């Protein structure tokens, strides 16, 4: 029993979440993310550590994916189709729908820019998705006869979920990425007071009290508006799905309100499908969107049109969403090159960019970029960075811990220094142990499992016969014999146990020899012992039996001559364990000797 946890990714870092958790012997992989900063196998977690012996499919009971971001699901096709995991994968229906789009989008980027080795194919993504089992919110899914999982709303992105993993009385909750404050299209994360043994929470903003996302949204709209007003073009590099739709909602509403005419284009050709999913999973959005859904679906964009490559050369202002999001290949990079030289234009990077991309370069302030063939591109356009990621800040994390009331907390998906700070805060405030293992470090949590035991009717009746009624507030000690059969425990009376098991009863007796200086015959010595005990133990039944022995309750005393010394008699004292106390007392009494006989 107990839980064991080892992060192979997201342990004191943000990059490729992959956490192995073992709950009461069931092994689950939480997320299977990739790191976009590498072009080789280092982008994926090192799966060779999962099991040194045997097949992955035999070792892992299931994989759970918290949401569709690539740092949480990007290694999934690699894991299932190339490493060879053939078991079930669980995720929510929106994640199930959106995940392959993003994986496909990223695969295309990887193949497009070339030089990427050992990458999965389209067919692998499809085959991987065929292994997925959808989990609806608050639905308890039985993975097997012992392991069950349950999803809770996590905010963050459409379909993001926190998962409770339960085996018998032991449970672990994994938050994935979550957001405790509602935003323009999603609600706040919520979990019931499930009191898990362990809560594994992300801690991206462990030390931050974040400003409202609305401020960032206002800022974004202001910047786009100003650029468009002065006739400039705005490029927003995005990945096909997720942030793109969030920003589309913002612009669509703003354009409508301000009656703006500048065209907004979405370049990937995926708008239709993406919006289809946002419409389909409207119940996963926030209350406001759900309420207004009847009048107008927020994801039916009037102002946003599909982009054609020819439009990039059109004069006048425009806003273009183009993939990929880090300006490392394809269309977004082509448009960027075209527009970079004009200071009226603007590029807004709405997310993190890894090193080795043009996005990373311009965000670090580089303005003269070397292009192919030693050409230099001078970046005159404005460069803006706006993080729209929706993670719980320190306050939110504390709030969630308060809601779930876990026995232990474990921090992942964050920086070590920030985690350290939050860890102390959690330990102080909630008086629970908080852990922050690095990748490869294992945290073992001993738990006290409650094991159900059935009580026999006979035993219960005997207890009832003593006249005491059961009282839930007063636990009572019940004595009996514990029988374990077919993995079941039962408490029965010892008689019943003997009967059931077909065993004979054996008596355990303690024996002791006491030497007495007495030259008289054995019978006389016995009589003296009898008289002595009779006079001392007035409340006990002392008997002198015809065979010459003396009994006090279950204690038996016999006298024998000493083999070597005729002046000494040996008293053999024997008693059952029930009369242990009396037996010890008698022995010590006899050892003191007998009173002198009256002369």
Q: By CB under 8 A, is residue 55 in contact with other proteins?
A: yes
Closest to other proteins by CB, 175 vs 267, is 267
Tell me the three-class secondary structure of 506-545, residue by residue. CCCEEEEEEEEECCCCHHHHHHHHHHHHHHHCCCCCEEEC
Cβ distance 21 to 174 under 8 Å?
yes
Site for other proteins in 291-310 (CB under 8 A): 306, 309-310
Please choose, out of 220-228, 357-365, 459-467, 473-481, the segment that lies near other proteins by the rule CB under 8 A: 357-365
Sole window of 285-293, 356-364, 528-536, 584-592 interacting with other proteins (rule: CB under 8 A): 356-364
| Contacts to other proteins from residues 412-431, by CB under 8 A | 415-416
Q: How far is the CB of 452 from other proteins (least distance, A)?
A: 16
Sheet holding 382-385, edge to edge: 304-306, 264-266, 318-322, 233-237, 346-349, 382-385
Give the nearer residue to other proteins in terms of CB position, either 42 or 380: 42
Distance of CA 125 to the CA centre of its chain: 26
CB of 391 to other proteins, least distance (A): 6
* Cis status, amide bond into 324, omega within 30 of 0: yes
Neighbour-count burial for 90-99, b at 16+ CB within 10 Å, e otherwise: bbbbbbbbbb
Q: Which residues of 209-238 are buried (b: 16+ CB within 10 A; e: fewer)?
A: ebeebeebbeebbebbbebbeeebbbbbbb
Is the CB of 309 or the CB of 499 nearer to other proteins? 309
Please pick, from the candidates 35, 184, 303, 423, the single residue that binds other proteins as defined by CB under 8 A. Answer: 35
Q: Which of 94, 237, 330, 480 binds other proteins (CB under 8 A)?
A: 330
- Least distance CB 536 / other proteins (angstroms): 51
Instruction: Verify binding: residue 395, other proteins, rule CB under 8 A.
Output: no
Nearer to other proteins, 235 or 358 (CB): 358
Residues 65-84 touching other proteins, rule: CB under 8 A, are: 69-72, 74
Q: H or E stretch including 248?
A: helix 243-258
Contact between 18 and other proteins by CB under 8 A: the answer reads no
Interface pick for other proteins out of 162, 248, 358, 404 (rule CB under 8 A):
358
Positions 220 through 279 that interact with other proteins (CB under 8 A) = 239, 267-270, 272-273
For residue 523, CA distances in Å to 491, 545, 548, 597 come to 48, 11, 7, 15
Task: Single out the residue of 187, 232, 351, 396 in contact with other proteins (rule: CB under 8 A).
Answer: 351
Least gap, CB of 127 to other proteins (angstroms): 8
Contact assessment for residue 542 and residue 529, using Cβ atoms and an 8 Å cutoff: no
| Binding residue for other proteins, selected from 166, 233, 361, 490, defined by CB under 8 A | 361
Residues in 172-211 at the binding interface with other proteins, rule: CB under 8 A: 177, 204-205
- Determine whether 415 is an active site residue: no
Q: Which of residues 440-479 bind other proteins (CB under 8 A)?
A: 440-442
CA distance linking residue 449 with residue 388, whole number of Å: 42
Residue from 81, 104, 202, 384 carrying the catalytic annotation: 202
> Interaction with other proteins in 138-167: which residues (CB under 8 A)?
144-146
Q: Which is nearer to other proteins, 52 or 596 (CB)?
A: 52
Task: For residue 369, give the nearest of 333, 344, 343, 345 by alpha carbon.
Answer: 333
Binding other proteins (rule: CB under 8 A), the pick from 6, 22, 181, 227 is 6
In sequence order, what DSSP letters do the residues of 388-415 get, joined into one string? -----BHHHHHHHHHHH--SEEEEESS-
Closest Cα to residue 248, out of 302, 296, 317? Answer: 302
| Contact call for residue 315 and other proteins (CB under 8 A) | no
Residues annotated as catalytic (active site), given as ranges:
202
């Amino acid at each position: 029993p107990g839980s064991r946890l080892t992060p192979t990714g997201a342990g004191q870092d943000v990059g490729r979440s992959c956490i192995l958790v073992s709950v009461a012997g069931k092994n689950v992989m939480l997320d299977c993310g990739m790191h976009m900063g590498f072009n080789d196998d280092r982008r994926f977690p090192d799966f060779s550590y999962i099991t040194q012996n045997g097949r992955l499919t035999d070792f892992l009971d299931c994989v759970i994916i918290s949401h569709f971001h690539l740092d949480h699901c990007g290694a999934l096709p690699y894991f299932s189709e190339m490493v060879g995991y053939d078991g079930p994968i669980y995720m929510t229906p929106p994640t199930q729908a959106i995940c392959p789009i993003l994986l496909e989008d990223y695969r295309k980027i990887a193949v497009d820019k070339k030089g990427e080795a050992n990458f999965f194919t389209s067919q692998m993504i499809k085959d991987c998705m065929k292994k997925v089992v959808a989990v609806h919110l608050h639905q308890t899914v039985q993975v097997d006869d012992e392991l069950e999982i349950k999803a809770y709303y996590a905010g963050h992105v459409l379909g993001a979920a926190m998962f409770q993993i339960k085996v018998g009385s032991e449970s672990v909750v994994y938050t994935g990425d979550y957001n405790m404050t509602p935003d323009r299209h999603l609600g706040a994360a919520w979990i019931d007071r499930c009191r898990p043994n362990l809560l594994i929470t992300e801690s991206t903003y462990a030390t931050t009290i974040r400003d409202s996302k609305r401020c960032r949204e206002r800022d974004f709209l202001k910047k786009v508006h100003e650029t468009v007003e002065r006739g400039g073009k705005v490029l927003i590099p995005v990945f096909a799905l997720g942030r793109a739709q969030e920003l589309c909602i913002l612009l669509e509403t703003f354009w409508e309100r301000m009656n703006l005419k500048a065209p907004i284009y979405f370049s990937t050709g995926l708008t239709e499908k993406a919006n289809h999913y946002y419409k389909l999973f409207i119940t996963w959005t926030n209350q406001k969107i759900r309420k207004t859904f009847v009048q107008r679906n927020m994801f039916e964009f009037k102002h946003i049109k599909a982009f054609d490559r020819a439009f990039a050369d059109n004069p006048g202002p425009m806003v273009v969403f183009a993939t990929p999001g880090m300006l490392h290949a394809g269309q977004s990079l082509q448009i960027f090159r075209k527009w970079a030289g004009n200071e009226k234009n603007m590029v807004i990077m709405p997310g993190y960019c890894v090193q080795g991309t043009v996005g990373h370069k311009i965000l670090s302030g580089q303005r003269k970029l070397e292009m192919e063939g030693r050409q230099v591109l001078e970046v005159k356009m404005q460069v803006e960075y706006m993080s729209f990621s929706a993670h719980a800040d320190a306050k939110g994390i504390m709030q969630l811990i308060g809601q779930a009331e876990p026995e232990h907390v474990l921090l992942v998906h964050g920086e070590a220094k920030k985690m350290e700070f939050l860890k102390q805060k959690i330990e102080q405030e909630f008086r629970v142990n908080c852990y922050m293992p690095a990748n490869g470090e294992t945290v073992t949590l001993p738990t006290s499992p409650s094991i159900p035991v059935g009580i026999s009717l006979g035993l219960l009746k005997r207890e009832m016969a003593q006249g005491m009624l059961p009282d839930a507030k007063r636990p009572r000690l019940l004595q009996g014999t514990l029988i374990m059969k077919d993995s079941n425990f039962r408490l029965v009376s010892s008689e019943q146990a003997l009967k059931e098991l077909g065993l004979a009863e054996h008596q355990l007796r303690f024996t002791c020899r006491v030497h007495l200086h007495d030259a008289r015959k054995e019978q006389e010595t016995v009589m003296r012992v009898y008289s002595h005990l009779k006079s001392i133990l007035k409340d006990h039944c002392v008997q002198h039996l015809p065979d010459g022995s003396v009994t006090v309750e279950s204690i038996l005393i016999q006298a024998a001559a000493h083999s070597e010394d005729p002046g000494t008699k040996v008293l053999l004292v024997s008693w059952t364990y029930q009369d242990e106390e009396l037996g010890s007392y008698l022995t010590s009494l006899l050892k003191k000797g007998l009173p002198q006989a009256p002369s």
